[in-house]
Structure 1
């Protein structure tokens, strides 16, 4: 993406506006009388419409106008906010996103259906408000692509809404046009409220040799005759009122030429660069100060926190460079340690410190809170509730837990499948829940927490749980297990991740085709993660995803097994012990260590890797943990800590589950990175086989 491409900047800002609109609608769905959320959704729609028109997205502006009109009627009390209206605008919001991504698509039929849904929702609400206001809440469902009307139809004039005269004086900050504000749009909106006359004060315009062509020096005084009240006039300036001077006075008849000049504009730092958000914001509509009869004192423009929007691919490229720097620094440290040059060692240590700091800074830049991911599923829960007819309450915990942005992006689809599975298979209908003594609304809890070098994300529900007997019967019917084969509860629960597996009695929009959960397994394994499943009949189930914090650079423990070197992720290491040849011989046949009163199983990496060489006299055991499981890994030598830049395995070796990647050492050789989750699973399989034999 070109950093200077205004269309791409608009698309980024439009995505943020659409997210804001969706979250506002979901909040409103919970509290239909929340005036703040009604205003928030209206402002988002209004800004999107104006920005779209400014950047040439005419179809978007025309379509968004109808949703904005509907919410304008709600704001003015001509129609209530209803769940039907929220659902209609949520569906329209999805269409707006399509218009942003592909404005040239053929959406005529889809737009007609969406506008009909919107029209029906607002009309039903208008009838509820009363016949007097029903005519004012009409939202015409025009043909797709039609240009938006200027404003909604005002209610008929009555004795209380007779035309009144207003004097409006306003001055925008000098950098208004630099930030994408068009003063003429405000004058057009005032004109739409009624007959008006405009007077311009150009007394603040400097001489030509001192004129800044990007600065705004004009001020306006408007005489307006309208049936609308003060609040409608204030709404014209809703988005810019905090950075401008605005006076609104109700007057009798007064001559335009007798007006005094408008007040001096608020001083603003014109040199402050416009943020992309400001650049994309069309002067549209808005919130203003409380009614005033006297001049409004100048307001100081709020200083926003400076930030820079950086394309994600540039961060990825920078991360690659940092990784190469870490490898080069490791080589330099090895050369310095092998020589006698003290100055070289000092420089090497300084570069190592700088490299560590740069790496830490880079990691922080890539970390984002999982709350940004969790927010997406509020909409999913809302849609699932309507699709299934079940009452669903989505609860989120640990939103501030941070993960690498790349990991978060890849977790979105797996979590969608898990949540849909919980809603369809896990939660019961309200009638079934009440019969079981449960509240009618089922709860799905989405939680995140950090544990060492990994984040555990769990999706739990308080539904019926997973029927292991039914899962086993389906697995046998599909030929996944042999009849009579011994399966532990854990193995049975993990059958739901097999390709083509489904226990649904019939195919629905949510499940029954045997796809979804196998995608979860593949994605989590590609992230070097693991899946835990627990279920309690009649009480619910929980699926936990254990994911590494980052996929780029980790701290590792470099070890030697035979003649080869390997890296163990340091976050998984609990402690290191010595294993003598005598103790090793005693443990043959049971492979267990007594560690402070508890038995810890261990694996001999020499045997797994088939080194073919005798063990060292003083072997070491590295105790690692994943979740509640602890396993010892027997190695010949512990070399020390190592900053590990993770490189992907080649396509020839990507199916080797024992390793999660590789890294380049300081001498240019390659060390494989052990997949701790897989090794723990290997040990569990060995124990299961021993129990079966016994």
Structure 2
């Protein structure tokens, strides 16, 4: 029972991945409905979901998916065209399949989808009917290849709820086929265990499908089975050498040895009969070789190519998270060992400490690398969002994406999805004008939203840019005063006024819609970004468009930091933001909070003053020059200790809202150090001292 449930869970995970790829392919087809490669990709995804669903007991998923698969089979063979109607119906069908996989109720009109799909079938035959196949020839399809497949399932196959007959039926649907069952391993009846799978198969398949498509049929049983797939011929380069004798085929399949074959060849009987009588192979094995010989001879195909096999492993996210936690604890323990070793005069202990430090660094980098995923998987889902919302609002909008290969921590990507969805919805609803308005303003009636990602130091910079109406800062100020968010006489720059849209309860929408305009949301977006230790900024030109920039750290688990000290308190600065360290010797003539850095005046923030740390600052202080939102800003401290590999620990709820602090870490001696949020610290530098003191 446990094994059956494990296989069903594996099917669900694989189906979710296929449905994601399916949505991307359908949206890609909208721009080029004649792309045969993408059409085949859609058909293959549907075919795999249908076959695997039937195999693991998801009959409702299999039967519904069969409806879509049948229509796309007509499309890929050129009998019908791919239209926007077909794509819209398939997207609705995809949503319904997703709901069934997740065990949720779907509001999709299932009957309407099925009727619409059947209406696109010009043959008007029951979709359950299996068309009679004509013998395949190279004249019909020059891409035909003949495959030799040997499938030997494990004895305990039935215990997982798998029916091998379903696998073979799905395989046979791919083309001309011959299936030979081998029974020689079945014992006498008194010794027979009916729960054991004791048979195995040879299948000779002639199809235009690829090895990957064949292997997909066995995707959920391949790991436990003995499966070999080998191409034994194709329509390309026909010659006489493609014809093989039965003995050659049996030797190639390792059914007999070459020496045994040569010994039997000395006899004058037919080779198949001789081998069978000698007990070297069974009659069914000889039959399988004969079928292969005849099939290859019929197509006159060339020699075989070895099957390529790729292996991967699917690991639950919880195990990966637990591994990262363990690596974090190891990094903390290694820091303690390094500190202890530095205090001793034992050279051997220091050498061991350095070796463990090197190994823990490599383990940390590799473990975090496993969690890094390209953000393109998130970007691809947004194309469907833009498509559906633009149609609902009667707008014409194109989404362009760049930097899909930019990698982020898996946890960051998951938590970043909702904020990006809300920002895109606002760009679609509030940013892009209707086609009529755009034409009246001399613009292209088709609006454009650009979504990009790129690495920027130890962060990822994500930009959402639209060419819509832009945001008027004067209108924002007026709305903020109207809602009581700011006073009427509050001095404020245009840049600060634009940031008011992230204030709780702020909205410029004249009416509430299903898309946005309820007066909530943008403040939640900012809170979610802040929770990721990120920053959000906004730039806009009225009449030309808006750009929203989001900066997010690469990972939330472990960072390289620079340890600094003020009195007895230690702090960690993200090393990716640090540019250099300089000395500061204060005199009464110096301008406050400015240092001369090679002729350039750089402002700095005093950590002692802003955090209200008591004591007298040393005559010579250290200023750590950091990059904050593209500008150089200094942080004045008593002394710089050095680099520190930092395992980030979240602060409790009581301390979450303290400005300038993003987390904490444990040092090598067991004491705690606070991790500084450089951007927030610099922004707080202009606030009144009472509001900057750490509680």
TM range (shorter): 0.7 to 0.9
User: Alpha carbons of 1:334 and 1:169: their partners in 2 closer, same or farther (altered >3 Å)?
Assistant: closer
User: Alpha carbons of 1:561 and 1:191: their partners in 2 closer, same or farther (altered >3 Å)?
Assistant: closer
3-state SS in 2 of match to 1:544: strand
Partners of 2:519 and 2:640 in 1: how far apart? Answer: 46
Aligned to 1:586: 589
Shift in Å, 1:609: 1.6
Aligned alpha-carbon RMSD (Å): 3.7
3-state SS in 2 of match to 1:73: helix
Residue by residue over 1:407-429, the C-alpha shift from the partner in whole angstroms, topping out at 9 and shown as x without a partner, is: 11111111111111111111112
User: Alpha carbons of 1:169 and 1:320: their partners in 2 closer, same or farther (altered >3 Å)?
Assistant: closer
Aligned to 1:70: 71
Shift in Å, 1:303: 2.4
Shift in Å, 1:626: 2.1
Shift in Å, 1:173: 2.4
Q: How does 1:519-558 map to 2 (within 5 A)?
A: 519-558=524-563
3-state SS in 2 of match to 1:438: coil
Shift in Å, 1:58: 1.4
Contact 1:555 1:643 in 2 (8 A): yes
Contact 1:466 1:537 in 2 (8 A): yes
Contact 1:78 1:137 in 2 (8 A): no
Partners of 1:190 and 1:601 in 2: how far apart? Answer: 74
User: Alpha carbons of 1:268 and 1:460: their partners in 2 closer, same or farther (altered >3 Å)?
Assistant: farther
Partners of 1:238 and 1:679 in 2: how far apart? Answer: 54
Partners of 2:568 and 2:476 in 1: how far apart? Answer: 46
Aligned to 1:402: 407
Shift in Å, 1:509: 1.6
User: Alpha carbons of 1:482 and 1:175: their partners in 2 closer, same or farther (altered >3 Å)?
Assistant: same
Residue by residue over 1:94-136, the C-alpha shift from the partner in whole angstroms, topping out at 9 and shown as x without a partner, is: 111111111xx565xx46x23314533663x56xxxxxxx3x1
Partners of 1:562 and 1:506 in 2: how far apart? Answer: 55
Give the unaligned 5+ runs of structure 1.
127-133, 141-148, 155-162, 222-229, 250-259, 270-289, 690-694
Shift in Å, 1:663: 0.7
Partners of 1:652 and 1:369 in 2: how far apart? Answer: 35
3-state SS in 1 of match to 2:455: strand
3-state SS in 2 of match to 1:439: coil
Aligned to 1:240: 214
3-state SS in 1 of match to 2:596: strand
User: Alpha carbons of 1:458 and 1:266: their partners in 2 closer, same or farther (altered >3 Å)?
Assistant: farther
Contact 1:426 1:464 in 2 (8 A): yes
Partners of 1:365 and 1:531 in 2: how far apart? Answer: 27
User: Alpha carbons of 1:219 and 1:51: their partners in 2 closer, same or farther (altered >3 Å)?
Assistant: closer
Check if 1:646 corresponds to 2:648.
yes
Aligned to 2:601: 599
Partners of 1:378 and 1:267 in 2: how far apart? Answer: 48
Shift in Å, 1:490: 1.6
2:468 to 463, 466, 471: 463
3-state SS in 2 of match to 1:364: helix
Aligned to 1:226: none
Shift in Å, 1:263: 6.6
2:111 to 98, 112, 115: 115
Aligned to 2:570: 565
Contact 1:85 1:122 in 2 (8 A): no
Q: How does 1:370-449 map to 2 (within 5 A)?
A: 370-449=375-454
Contact 2:149 2:229 in 1 (8 A): yes
Aligned to 2:664: 662
3-state SS in 1 of match to 2:336: helix
Check if 1:628 corresponds to 2:624.
no
Residue by residue over 1:387-417, the C-alpha shift from the partner in whole angstroms, topping out at 9 and shown as x without a partner, is: 1221111111112221111111111111111
Aligned to 1:130: none
2:200 to 207, 216, 222: 216
Residue by residue over 1:439-488, the C-alpha shift from the partner in whole angstroms, topping out at 9 and shown as x without a partner, is: 22111111111111111111111111112122222212211111232221
Partners of 1:410 and 1:268 in 2: how far apart? Answer: 53
Q: How does 1:163-242 map to 2 (within 5 A)?
A: 172-175=148-151, 177=153, 182=164, 186=168, 216-219=200-203, 239-240=213-214
Aligned length: 609
Residue by residue over 1:270-327, the C-alpha shift from the partner in whole angstroms, topping out at 9 and shown as x without a partner, is: xxxxxxxxxxxxxxxxxxxx99943444633432333222111111111111111111
Aligned to 2:94: 93
Contact 1:205 1:218 in 2 (8 A): no
1:357 to 349, 359, 362: 362
Q: TM-score, normalised by structure 2?
A: 0.79
Partners of 2:576 and 2:146 in 1: how far apart? Answer: 60
3-state SS in 2 of match to 1:504: coil
Partners of 2:89 and 2:403 in 1: how far apart? Answer: 31
Contact 1:506 1:512 in 2 (8 A): yes
User: Alpha carbons of 1:121 and 1:353: their partners in 2 closer, same or farther (altered >3 Å)?
Assistant: same
Contact 1:556 1:641 in 2 (8 A): yes
Relative to structure 2, which stretch is displaced further, 677-686 or 167-176? 167-176
Q: TM-score, normalised by structure 1?
A: 0.80
Give the unaligned 5+ runs of structure 2.
138-143, 189-195, 216-227, 236-245, 256-294
3-state SS in 2 of match to 1:375: helix
User: Alpha carbons of 1:317 and 1:201: their partners in 2 closer, same or farther (altered >3 Å)?
Assistant: closer
Residue by residue over 1:144-177, the C-alpha shift from the partner in whole angstroms, topping out at 9 and shown as x without a partner, is: xxxxx534779xxxxxxxx966799976422464
Contact 2:448 2:467 in 1 (8 A): yes
Partners of 1:236 and 1:463 in 2: how far apart? Answer: 46
Partners of 2:679 and 2:664 in 1: how far apart? Answer: 16
User: Alpha carbons of 1:663 and 1:420: their partners in 2 closer, same or farther (altered >3 Å)?
Assistant: same
